Amino acid sequence: MSDTAELFIDSRCELGEGVFWHPLQERLFWFDILNKTLFSATAGGIMIDRFTFDTPVTAAGVIDADNLAIASAAGIYKLELSTDTRELIAPLEADKPGNRSNDGRVGPSGGFWIGTMALHDPGHTASGSLYQVRGGEVTTILSGIHIPNATCFSPDGRTAYFTDGVTRVIRKVAIDRDTGLPVGPWQDFAKVEPPGEPDGAVADAEGYIWNAVWNAGSVVRYAPDGSIDRVVKVPVSRPTCPAFGGPDLKTLYITSAREGLTPEQLAAEPLAGGVFAINVDVPGLPENLFKV
């Protein structure tokens, strides 16, 4: 089986992120955070829609066939895809105009775990937090975060994963399946060696965790015990987020970034900012539906 992902769409995102497969629309969605845009495409790589916003948008949860929950700097919005109308569901950090949202994913309880971070100099500013938004209620899970990433959940819905990227440590915690909130202490799960930093992550049907490694040009599959099971290479240095999609959920899609690369690096990485794909033998999990 191939261990190198190939270009799926040459989207040239400045900061591609938050990729997910919409099971009811049967298409792929992903964001360009810095260009405030949400894209979508078919499994065959044909672009369908793009939605633009006034603030950075970073992650989403599926509500139903025609509605998404969109995480932005201002809060969680409901986006109706067919009409491109937006409605605020829950404000986030109205008192922190220097912050924006980042990585997020909907858990098995229907709660949207979403992290925030400083818009500028996030590697040195720990102004972010990790929240759960569920049923109109916003609950703080963690605070003092630099760069929230790797949010994902085990197939049985009893374990959540998360990282503050600058620590280079992915952590895990037991969660309550009904409330979606932690019920035990956080534990170290896996450590990423420099110069790599853990970015977005997703779980497959066997409970293995796939993590995009920023600055390392790879996506690493971790076994439930935290050991490395497989490494998929990506032909760019800054992969950002993986997601499973396609009709059988056996295609691993990977977004990437151009942000921060020098002109020389961009010349050497002409596909930076693209979306990549590779077929895998173990399927992913359908996206959990967000509980408005």
Catalytic residue list: 199
Tell whether 199 is in a known binding site: yes
Tokens (6 digits) for 173: 């915690």
Tell whether 100 is in a known binding site: yes
Tell whether 17 is in a known binding site: yes
**What 3 state SS string does the chain have?**
CCCECEEEECCCCCEEEEEEEECCCCEEEEEECCCCEEEEECCCCCEEEEEECCCCEEEEEEEECCEEEEEECCEEEEEECCCCEEEEEEECCCCCCCEEEEEEEECCCCCEEEEEEECCCCCCCCCEEEEEEECCEEEEEEEEECCEEEEEECCCCCEEEEEEHHHCEEEEEEECCCCCCECCCCEEEEECCCCCEEEEEEEECCCCEEEEEECCCEEEEECCCCCEEEEEECCCCCEEEEEEECCCCCEEEEEEECCCCCHHHHHHCCCCCCEEEEECCCCECCCCECCC
Tell whether 238 is in a known binding site: no
Tell whether 149 is in a known binding site: yes
Residue ranges of the binding site for a divalent metal cation: 17, 149, 199
Residue ranges of the binding site: 17, 100, 102, 149, 199
Residue ranges of the binding site for substrate: 100, 102
